[in-house]
A and B are shown apart, each in its own frame.
Chain A
């Protein structure tokens, strides 16, 4: 499997998650059937990264676009890759209803707790007191727990989970679960806690330590 050079910042979590996603897709024999839609956010940088059909959409709109594709081509494997802002702020309404209707698409949310692409403003996932460009004195409210919120909405058979980019084994397992859910005709959402050293203003070990600290607030595992 060939990957074109990624355009992500050095140390970014996105390419790690995407590489494992592509491997899981290949392992499932779905490389040709898979279609990846990208939300606008740092996800858009993956437009020519993977040996899989890929296209960019609009910010917040990838879930709606991919369910349109999936309904038109039910034998495809549809992945909507989005940031936490795209999923839980501007695209939340569409995400909730896609989940409620049990649309058989796989929503992959990269949670870096900020708006990465636009330079580090607060996201719905920003922790209380976390400093961002839009909350220089610290964010005022508690973060948003996407998979937990959806839990009340989804049908039996849907798959909801959270993991982190430094947990390759769990990521791999959850990708397989998401693929299985879609094969069985169900919605799935996997949130991956991911490095954004650029906007966290961290380096090396600090970045990993920060990601680890996020796991206190955002519990990993199946939801």
Chain B
């Protein structure tokens, strides 16, 4: 067990520390704000790396490395993340423990680099498959550290690609990282010298692929029992349920405290994993509430996931606070709740 005491770090440093503590061995990368520092800090720590010619090569380098049994990862953002989906799609199809730290950029196109929650759908469903990926959304430094380490553990345990979905704000934030104590993840070669493996991602018959996808779906549902995570705040007697993730989730949590102080029965459901979503917890909280407010720095990418996953018999009405590509302050959330 690796144990460091409290440190003053940036988000990028926290993510790198999480990767290191999980035993990451190799990084492939191509610079892009706001993810670049994850790569350069990794390099400054003297770790193995390769700066590739583009994100496509970085992504496929990770694929090759993990097939050989190496805990490799990459980082990217926005337009780079789009290119990387080629490799993530192969990783999904071949069940490769691919790990990426993604700093969302405001989009479309090259957009902006600080606030955005516009890569939610891309992370969760950015391939020609069914979205069998683990997508983590940290809300603060400590979580960025822990979820980056967890991404390695769960990618290798469940053999699904894992994305730590953060943003420029959190990656650049400086703060105290509480004691870090992630265990190294266990890895093993997916091809070895003793058994000749013949491994495809192209199928001759539609039915073969259907069976393969259904098996993945089963495995994903089984993994979700442990891997789907959410934080619930004051949901026992909730009347107004806020739903928010990442740094917006952190603002929503503060808003809950303020509003509770004024006697308003507000609670928060904060998905820690966007894929798989902690469906049962969501249903339970949503069924109690009289109103659900989905709050996000996007025009409804989280809302789409939530509405899609919510049990159909739950008829609680929705409201939305959506600010594409900009941050959302605690006061705005408080005022929004007052307004309804």
A contact set with B: CB distance below 8 Å: 32-33, 35, 37, 40, 44, 47-48, 51-58, 61, 64-73, 76, 93-94, 96-97
Contact = CB atoms under 8 A, between A and B. Distances in A.
Given A35-B191, A64-B57, A94-B53, A69 B202 contact: no
16 contacts: A33-B193, A44-B202, A47-B200, A48-B198, A53-B196, A53-B197, A54-B198, A54-B199, A55-B94, A56-B201, A58-B201, A61-B90, A64-B59, A64-B60, A67-B61, A68-B67
Interface string B198-232: 11111000000000000000000000000000000
B199 A94 contact: no
| Most B-side CB within 10 Å, residue of A32, A61, A68, A71 | A68
Contact of B198 (A32, A47, A96): A47
Contacts of B198: 47-48, 53-55
Interface of B: 25-26, 28, 48, 50, 52-54, 56-57, 59-70, 72, 86-87, 89-90, 94, 189, 191-194, 196-202
Contacts of B202: 40, 44, 47, 56
A17 to B, nearest CB: 18
B64 A70 contact: yes
Contacts of A58: 60, 86-87, 89-90, 201
Nearest to A76: B68
A47 B199 contact: yes
Given A58-B89, A65-B64, 17 more contacts: A32-B194, A37-B64, A44-B200, A48-B198, A48-B200, A53-B196, A54-B199, A55-B199, A61-B86, A68-B63, A71-B61, A72-B25, A72-B72, A73-B69, A76-B68, A93-B57, A94-B53
A167 B118 CA distance: 55
Contacts of A37: 64
Given A32-B193, A53-B196, A54-B199, A72 B63 contact: no
B197 to A, nearest CB: 5
A49 B36 CA distance: 42
Given A72-B26, A93-B53, A93-B54, A51 B196 contact: yes
A33 B48 CA distance: 23
Contacts of A52: 196
B64 A94 contact: no
Contacts, number: 116
Given A57-B60, A58-B60, A69 B90 contact: no
| A35, A37, A52, A58 pick with most chain B CB within 10 angstroms | A58
A117 B60 CA distance: 22
A187 B323 CA distance: 50
Contacts of A48: 198, 200
A57 B89 CA distance: 11
B88 to A, nearest CB: 11
B200 A64 contact: no
Contact of B67 (A40, A69, A94): A69
B70 A72 contact: yes
Contacts of A40: 202
A47 B197 CA distance: 9
A97 B52 contact: yes
A72 B198 CA distance: 20
Interface centre among B25, B59, B68 (most CB of A within 10 A): B68
B52 A69 contact: no
A157 to B, nearest CB: 20
A56 B28 contact: no
A72 B60 CA distance: 13
Given A40-B202, A69-B67, A72-B64, A64 B191 contact: no
Contacts of B26: 71-72
Given A47-B198, A72-B72, A97 B63 contact: no
A128 to B, nearest CB: 29
A69 B199 contact: no
A65 B196 CA distance: 18
Nearest to B190: A55
Given A56-B200, A61-B87, A69 B65 contact: yes
A120 B56 CA distance: 26
Given A57-B90, A94-B57, A68 B200 contact: no
B162 to A, nearest CB: 17
Contact of A69 (B25, B68, B87): B68
